[in-house]
Structures are given as C-alpha cells and as structure tokens.
Amino acid sequence: MQVLLLCGLAGALGALSRLGISRLVQRLAGTNLPLATAAVNLLGCFLFGLLWGLLNDRFAASAGVKTVVFTGFLGALTTFSTYAYENVGLMAEGRLTTALLNVLGQNILGFALVALGLTLARN
C-alpha cells in the first residue's frame, strides 16, 4: 500500500514538473513547434538513464523505489502520447518535414540521452 501511495505522489510531482517545464519552454521558445513536448521527453530520457544507472546498477534500490521513480515520477513526466498526437497533427497540416524531423530528432536524441545518463551514473 505504501508503494501505491508513494507512486501516486511521485506521479503528481512528475505531472506538475511536466506542466512547469512545458510552460517554461513554450514561453522561451515562442513558437508553434512542439518544443515543450520534446524538452520533456528528452529530459525524461536522460533522467531515466541516469536514475536507472544509479538506482539499479550502483545502489541496488528496491523494486518499490524503482516503481515510485520510474512508473510514478517519470511515467507522469514524459509525454509520449502527446508527442504522437502532435506529430499526427503536423502530418494532418501537411507539415511532413517538420513531423519527420521531430520524430527523428526526439528518437535519436532520446536514445543518446539515455546512454549519456547511464554512462554518467556508472562512472
């Protein structure tokens, strides 16, 4: 029961973090591109790699701690469904190049940032 409550609290924190980061990025970027979603997804990828490397590899955290962090916080922070929806919208608007660049950019950078987070955590 404790893990469920902590997972819910971590999810709330992740959702609030997502909202804050998204608003900040949109305000700074001032564009109609999905940069806020990209920023949250890429940050989430980096944090996943870093925290997995620390909690799983370095400190051998319990399954409950990993559930709270990865399912609760990071599950609420990252926004893959929004990412997919925004790309479908770009394609529907005929902005195929923008959609393709967005998909490739977030995926390539996402993989690289997970690897960077793991490397930093393990060294």
Q: pLDDT tens-digit profile of 82-117?
A: 888 899 999 999 999 999 999 999 999 999 999 999
Residues with Cβ within 8 Å of residue 87, at least 6 apart in sequence:
34, 99, 102, 103
Number of domains in the chain: 1
What local confidence, expressed as pLDDT, does residue 31 receive?
73
Predicted model pTM = 0.81
Query: Binding site, residues?
Result: 75, 78
Quick: pLDDT tens for 34-67: 899 899 999 999 999 999 999 998 999 999 999 9
Domain that holds residue 89: 2-122
Query: Binding site for Na(+), residues?
Result: 75, 78
3-state SS assignment for residue 21: helix
